C-alpha cells in the first residue's frame, strides 16, 4: 500500500507531465495558426512567435536556470471580444 506522501508525489509528477504535454500542443497549435504568444514581461505586453518560445524553452532546459526575478504572465490570447448590448 502506498503512503499518502508517495501518492501525492506520483500525482504531482502526472500533473507536471500533463502540463508539459499541453504546452507542447499549444506551441504546435500556435505554429499551425501562425499566431504569436502574448506575454507580459517587466510590465510590457510582448508578442513572441511559437518558434521563439520553443527556442527559449530549450535554452532554459539546457541552462537549467531557476530565475525567479523575471516572471512571465500569459495574457488571454486571442483577446476576448466583448459585445455589450445596449439597453433601451
Domain ranges of the chain: 35-78
Give the cell for residue 19: 502540463
56 confidence band (pLDDT: 50, 70, 90): confident
pTM of the model: 0.60
Strands (E), the chain: 37-41, 44-48, 73-74
Q: Comparing C-alpha atoms, which of 27, 17, 16 is closest to residue 77?
A: 27
3-state DSSP assignment of residue 41: strand
Q: What is the largest CA-CA distance in the chain?
A: 65
Locus of grid cell 518558434: 51
15 confidence band (pLDDT: 50, 70, 90): very high
Amino acid at each position: 500500500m502506498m503512503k499518502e506522501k508517495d501518492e501525492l508525489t506520483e500525482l504531482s509528477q502526472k500533473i507536471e507531465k500533463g502540463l508539459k504535454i499541453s504546452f507542447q500542443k499549444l506551441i504546435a497549435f500556435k505554429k499551425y495558426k501562425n499566431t504569436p504568444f502574448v506575454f507580459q514581461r517587466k510590465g510590457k505586453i510582448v508578442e513572441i512567435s511559437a518558434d521563439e518560445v520553443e527556442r527559449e524553452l530549450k535554452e532554459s532546459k539546457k541552462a537549467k536556470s531557476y530565475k525567479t526575478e523575471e516572471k512571465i504572465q500569459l495574457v488571454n490570447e486571442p483577446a476576448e471580444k466583448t459585445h455589450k448590448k445596449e439597453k433601451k
